[in-house]
Amino acid sequence: MLRRNLCSICKLIGTVNYFHTRSSLQIPRLLEAPTIQLASFLQASSFPLNLERGKQVHTQLIINGIVTCNPLLLAMYLRCDSVNDAKNMFFRIELGCIKRWNLMIRWFAKMGCFHLALSFYFKMLGCGVSPDNFTFPSVVKACSALNNVRFGTLIHEAINLMGFEVNVFVGSSLINLYVVNGYINRARALFDKMPVRDCVLWNVMLNGYVKCGEFDKAMEIFVEMRKGETKPNEVTFVAILSLCASEAMVDFGTQLHGLVVTCGLEYNSMVANALLSMYSKCGWLCDAHKLFGMIPPTDLVSWNGMISGYVQNNFMEEASCLFNEMISSGVKPDTITFSSFLPAASGLGSFRKVKEIHGYILRNRVSLDVFLKSALIDAYFKCRDVEMARSVYIQSAEVDIVVCTAMISGYVLNGMNNDALEIFRWLLQKNIRPNPVTLASLLPACAGLAAIKVGKELHGNIIKRGFDGRCHVGSTIIDMYAKCGRLDLAQYVFERLTERDSVCWNTMIRSCSQNGKPEEAIDLFRQMGRTGTKYDSVSISAALSSCANLPALHYGKEIHALMIKGSLCSDSFTESTLIDMYAKCGNLGVARRVFDMMGEKNEVPWNSIIAAYGYHGHLNDCLALFHEMLKNEIWPDHVTFLAILSACGHAGKVDDGLHYFQSMTEEYGIPPRMEHYACMVDLFGRAGRLNEAFKTIASMPFSPDAGVWGTLLGACRNHGNVELAEVASKHLFDLEPQNSGYYSLLSNVLADAGDWRSVLKVRSLMKERGVKKVPGYSWIEVNNTTHFFVAADESHPQSTNIYSLLKTILLELKREGYVPQLYHRNSQQMVS
């Protein structure tokens, strides 16, 4: 009877298939087992479009009196996402049937309803139904998705008691749970127990080690996998190639490329793009471009990878050309494309290009995710359009930490440090937790404002949250303390760093160099080499600047030799610093030879050689180089004119200085900065035209800083203008009240004029404010040794001979008419 009814159902199946869209379902002969045919049909009907076919069969089963409480029907309804039908079927199936529980738990896990999956699991246990090896993978998956390792551990204990731990599917799910949640050692312990390890299992462990940053262990896993019989697949290669990219292991990466070809996966999209990313991140752009040419032109991921590679390696023009080629090829860019390309547009300073991209995004309704918003904000800030960056930020419906970090970085870049702090305060009020990148972006704002108290508070928060061990965070903390004048704290933070990359070393070397500690900077440079950290253009430039500040020509020559040996001469910035070092060490001829031997020159080396001739007093050569620079179609920038104005000041050529100052603003459209005004004040001051110097300060479009007022005060000292000296010093005492040099300058001007009462007032003001006079010192290099001299100091081993020779020189000077000024001693007596 049952067989006859099933055969009639099979006839119905054939009829249904005929009247529906031509199905590929093969109907077995009626004499074959009808139950197999029924299962096959229900599985084929498990799509929303075929739900009606399944319902018709279910109806015929009911009409023919066949038992319909079958888990196959429940599975069919679940696959068709027919929740109500599935629920009705679930409650009609026998309570103790494990299959119905497994089906419901697996479906909930598949649909992302992880809490319901766990709830059904515990209900199943409450009903006295024991789970089997098909139950646990879905339950463990739910724990993993909820990051609930505690529940997962309890379920692991149950699995172990039931003997399912080494089942390949159950074990894989448990290993994945531990890997995803960072319990890599637990995952490895279970992995080692597995008797059979398929490719999926190996890939889970490999990805786990890569994710946790344990690259040595990841490499061990890959090598161990290769020793066995398991053949790597595309997931394996993507994981290990990402490791090569992050660690710049290009040699090993090329070997993997050969293995990829051997395995026949070179045309696999995932693997090809992973190779492309590896070559790009390692700077092998020629190989990346060759590989790009072999990938189908419709692959959007490869376009994105190649554009990103060009941007990461600072080939902005090439990135722009490739983006235009992509549009011309008819490949539609997505959010990743724009996020990758926008830095190229802003890097080229093309504000128009950034606006065109923004317009395209809006016209084509490209999804503005947080990364694209951040890229747009960053691009506008780099193009100096703060208002457009604010507009993108304000229009964001949802503001998260990524967008806030972009705003903070942008404000800092544009010198708007207070606005950066306001954004940070706002995100704290909204209970948005700052990440390490946010904190590292904010610290330069504290440095810019010299707000060391806020900087210390941020440092405390970084330590509390355990971010202080990260190299990029440690570097910004060092930089912040150094720029706030606390080199001792910078040194303390640097010494406490457990890991130091080249950025950390460079920051510390540069901080010492810029804070008047060139010897310490050179010593750190040597230590950096001894630790095996690779020198780059930044470390070389910082060390050369220290040599120039000492000056220490022999150290500079050693670094020059290191540059040649290490193939760093091709970097225009390091070679420009080398020119500056030789010039400041008095070797202008070698500086010129370095310049002449350079290949392609941008404005940076031209500025260096122009400045070199300027501060050596060779104005004509300086101007000749400037005009030669123009003939070579190199556009001058603000640094070029700063060097020319300084040279005019040293040569006393006021009219030439005025001409080039006007040319800078009118002909080249370069707005004058603080340094240019300081040069103009110095130009007039040296020529004794102090009133014009004061008028220049009054005409400035922004408030003059201490450097400008200090230049005027120095000119007043040279020309004895007491009235303007008092005006300048009043501003200086407000701007830098602890700088003893300004008090001394004013005191000298007043003493020259014989106003001893005012001298006494200045000395009293210094005492009242607790200002201590820092003694001046000078130095000279003789036979590769630098000798330092401080006023009235007798610590030098040859001080007796030096003072004896100095007295002889003074006698000769008096014979030639020199009259020494002795007011310092008189003023000291009056103060005492």
Q: Look at phi and psi of residue 182 and say left if phi exceeds 0, alpha if psi is from -120 to 50, else beta.
A: left
Nearest to 682 by CA among 644, 710, 723, 641: 710
Structure tokens at 312: 């990461």
What value does the mean pLDDT of the chain take? 82
Give the residue-averaged pLDDT of 450-468. Answer: 87
User: Would you state the pLDDT for residue 820?
Assistant: 67
Nearest to 340 by CA among 302, 312, 299, 380: 312
Give the residue-averaged pLDDT of 777-805. Answer: 76
Other beta carbons less than 10 A from residue 673's beta carbon? 14
User: Would you state the pLDDT for residue 64?
Assistant: 55
pLDDT tens digits, one per residue of 198-234 = 888 898 889 888 888 788 888 999 988 988 888 899 9
User: Would you state the pLDDT for residue 111?
Assistant: 78
Confidence of residue 691 (pLDDT cuts 50, 70, 90): very high
pLDDT tens digits, one per residue of 638-690 = 999 999 999 998 888 999 999 999 999 899 888 899 999 999 999 999 999 99
477 with 462: CB under 8 angstroms? yes
Confidence of residue 730 (pLDDT cuts 50, 70, 90): very high
Domain ranges of the chain: 1-93, 316-396, 399-499
Is the confidence at residue 84, as pLDDT, over 70? no
H or E stretch at 814: helix 799-815
What's this model's pTM, rounded to 2 decimal places?
0.66
For tokens 């004896």, the residue is 804
Give the residue-averaged pLDDT of 533-549. Answer: 88
Q: CA-to-CA distance for 381 and 216, rounded, in angstroms? A: 40
User: Would you state the pLDDT for residue 255?
Assistant: 92
**Domain 399-499 belongs to what topology?**
1.25.40
Report the Cα 169 to chain-centroid distance in Å.
40
User: Would you state the pLDDT for residue 48?
Assistant: 42
Confidence of residue 269 (pLDDT cuts 50, 70, 90): confident
How does DSSP classify residue 111? T
As beta bridge partners, residue 779 has: 788
pLDDT tens digits, one per residue of 405-416 = 999 999 998 889
Nearest to 379 by CA among 321, 339, 327, 420: 339
How does DSSP classify residue 665? I
Is the confidence at residue 554, as pLDDT, over 90? no
Give the residue-averaged pLDDT of 694-698. Answer: 93
Give the residue-averaged pLDDT of 101-106. Answer: 78
